[in-house]
Structure 1
Amino acid sequence: MLSLEEIFQARNHLVPYVYHTPLLHLHALDPLLGCQVYVKAECMQLTHSFKIRGALNRILQLTPEERARGVVTASSGNHGRGVAYAAKMLGIKATVVIPDHAPAVKIQAVRDLGAEVILCDKPKRFAIAEKLRDEKGLCYIPPFNDYAVMAGQGTIALEIFQDLPDPAAVLVPLGGGGLTSGIATAIKGIRPETRVYACEPARIPRFTVSLKEGRPTAVPQVDTIADGVATLCPGDKTLPIVRDKVDRVIDVPEEALLPAMKLLLTEGKVLAEPSSTIGLAAIQSGQLTFRPEDKVVFVLSGGNVDFSLVQKL
């Protein structure tokens, strides 16, 4: 299992490289969501996503011989950009396998960082990355199912507590579970009374299904506008942590996602991708309520948004 000590070690690794992102109290949203609304703006992080934390923490632990071989990963976009950025920073060759229908802004950002991009059907991305690992001897950087990656993501919680010592709850977007596992481990290790809610798209309820089954269980491929949390199956490392340290997994309806993104942009004046605003959507859709005095932190996991999507708002 992931330890709190590993997350503190990850913070020491990452401090020279990543931003301590702002924790913003969006007062205008307080009466609209019925609580004191704080957002952890990872959309303002390097690469405009939290993914740089886990990717870089994992890559920094490679040996010189492993770095010389190069790295490969599979990603819906943000993790690939994080790997590409870290690899460029450290002078390592990177290959990123991305679904061909991922947002163009995410694909281009990976290319702009000098990584080789391989486009494929979404369900095949992990198998292709693992095949490249085996055939070319590349080092695979998992997007979520890796303790070093989770530890890097958990540094977000350490920053939250630096800026706000007593949050009542933290709402986290739930994809493969790396972000949630890291944050939940840190929160429950430091302040157990702070509740952790993990929010996944109702169209792809892979954690709800897997928790009922008692094992990682894949769900059918269905399109969702929350592409950043569209993983079909939890990891065997992330599922037990989510089971043991998350207070509740919430399946958020698709129709609530764009209104939440719009609310954050128009009233909060913050632009984030739909995956990031899924916690706001959980409240707007009535699945979660708080008291007006509760300090609630919403992790805005990324801000890599195609302008065409903004126009749809």
Structure 2
Amino acid sequence: MLTLENIQAAKMKVAPYIYETPVVRLHGLDELLNCNVSIKAENMQKTNSFKLRGALNKLLSMPLEQLQQGVVAASSGNHGKGVAFAAKLLNIPATIVLPDSAPSIKVEGIRALGANVVQCKLAERHDITEKLSLEHGYAIIHPYDDYDIMAGQGTVGLEILEQFPQTSAIVIPIGGGGLISGVATAVKSLAPHIKIIGVEPAVVSRYADSLIAGERLLLKEQKSMADALLTLQPGERNFPIVQKLVDDIVRVDEASIESGMKTLLLAGKVMAEPSSAIGIGAALQGNLPITKNDHVCFLISGGNVGLNQLHNL
């Protein structure tokens, strides 16, 4: 179970090791997005992603004897970088299992932190992680389906409430569901009037589809420029939290994701990876359930983007 108290404890635990990233008001985007625009700049976090919060909270919550053999994590890249950072902090070995399609900047960033990298097909990541755990005794650090991970990610929500109390809606990218589960739990516990809106690629709309079906669906593998949001099934622990606390899920097409990244870079002067700019894309697409008077905080979840990705825009 995930509670506000878990998230508050996580905030105390990870605070010495992370940045309290700013909430930035972007007046220049108000007319374009038809609301009062602010961003929570987790692209400026150490490791350039919110994922560090959950990874640190998880590893700092585990007994040292459980970590002695090392840790292993399946990741699209950002979780792996967070785990690699936390493992280096604790002086334990880390192995990160990444899809072959992971951007080189994420692969290189993980290796630079001293972790071993194993690459495979997207759908094989968790199976290979399980295999490595059994073979070597590594502790598995799940990217989203874990209450300690969710509690760490939920610290973003506590910061938004402290920094920007006039918020009326928070727009959050969804992959496996760890971030939105944590933030929704924190925010709805303290400010239930704030709308929590999830955004995910239309080609992998596992949460939107699953909520309609009333059960966790497993989707087929697809390609999207939002490489961090390609998880094929909602997390088992995450899904009921999203069912209960999230107000809406919006599907975003590929053209709008690209437009969101361009708009954030050119008009907002903020460099974010496509998966993080997806909320801006949803607003440009015109189907976010917000009004012109809403104070909307777009959670910019990461900034691990390479020059080659920028050249392709």
User: TM-score if structure 1 supplies the norm length?
Assistant: 0.98
Taking the TM superposition and a 5 Å limit, the aligned residue runs for 1:158-307 are: 158-288=158-288, 290-307=290-307
In 2, the alpha carbon distance for the partners of 1:243 and 1:185 equals 12
In 1, the alpha carbon distance for the partners of 2:263 and 2:169 equals 20
- Matching of residue 40 in structure 1 with residue 40 in structure 2: yes
**Is the deviation greater in 192-201 or in 128-137?**
128-137
Secondary structure (helix, strand or coil) at the match of 2:249 reads strand
**1:224-282 per-position Cα deviation (integer Å, ceiling 9, x unaligned):** 00001110011110000011000001111111111110000001000000100111111
- Matching of residue 53 in structure 1 with residue 43 in structure 2: no
Give the C-alpha shift of residue 302 in structure 1: 0.3
Secondary structure (helix, strand or coil) at the match of 2:24 reads strand
- Matching of residue 69 in structure 1 with residue 69 in structure 2: yes
Taking the TM superposition and a 5 Å limit, the aligned residue runs for 1:34-183 are: 34-183=34-183
Give the C-alpha shift of residue 289 in structure 1: 5.0
In 1, the alpha carbon distance for the partners of 2:257 and 2:281 equals 6
**1:125-164 per-position Cα deviation (integer Å, ceiling 9, x unaligned):** 1100011112211100000000000000000011101111
In 2, the alpha carbon distance for the partners of 1:256 and 1:201 equals 10
Secondary structure (helix, strand or coil) at the match of 1:216 reads coil
CA contact (8 A) 1:215 1:236 kept: no
State the identity as a percent.
47
In 1, the alpha carbon distance for the partners of 2:236 and 2:288 equals 28
| Structure 2 residue identity aligned to 1:59 | L
In 2, the alpha carbon distance for the partners of 1:284 and 1:30 equals 11
Secondary structure (helix, strand or coil) at the match of 1:304 reads coil
**1:22-55 per-position Cα deviation (integer Å, ceiling 9, x unaligned):** 1000111011111110000000000000000001
| Structure 2 residue identity aligned to 1:20 | E
In 1, the alpha carbon distance for the partners of 2:255 and 2:204 equals 14
CA RMSD, aligned part only? 0.9
Secondary structure (helix, strand or coil) at the match of 1:14 reads helix
**1:81-123 per-position Cα deviation (integer Å, ceiling 9, x unaligned):** 0000100011011000001111000001101110010011111
In 2, the alpha carbon distance for the partners of 1:269 and 1:224 equals 24
| Structure 1 residue identity aligned to 2:145 | N
> Could you say if the C-alpha distance between residues 290 and 213 of structure 1 is closer, same or farther in structure 2, counting changes exceeding 3 Å?
closer
CA contact (8 A) 1:34 1:289 kept: no
| Structure 2 residue identity aligned to 1:87 | A
> Could you say if the C-alpha distance between residues 289 and 63 of structure 1 is closer, same or farther in structure 2, counting changes exceeding 3 Å?
closer
**Is the deviation greater in 60-69 or in 221-230?**
60-69
Secondary structure (helix, strand or coil) at the match of 1:16 reads helix
In 2, the alpha carbon distance for the partners of 1:294 and 1:250 equals 17
Secondary structure (helix, strand or coil) at the match of 2:187 reads helix
In 1, the alpha carbon distance for the partners of 2:34 and 2:215 equals 36
| Structure 2 residue identity aligned to 1:58 | K
Stretches of 4+ moved more than 6 A in 1? none
Taking the TM superposition and a 5 Å limit, the aligned residue runs for 1:8-27 are: 8-27=8-27
Q: How many residue pairs were aligned? A: 313
**1:161-180 per-position Cα deviation (integer Å, ceiling 9, x unaligned):** 11111211000000000000
Secondary structure (helix, strand or coil) at the match of 2:228 reads helix
CA contact (8 A) 1:221 1:232 kept: yes
CA contact (8 A) 1:283 1:289 kept: no
CA contact (8 A) 1:168 1:294 kept: yes
**1:6-36 per-position Cα deviation (integer Å, ceiling 9, x unaligned):** 0000001011110000100011101111111
In 1, the alpha carbon distance for the partners of 2:64 and 2:275 equals 35
In 1, the alpha carbon distance for the partners of 2:47 and 2:153 equals 14
In 2, the alpha carbon distance for the partners of 1:288 and 1:211 equals 17
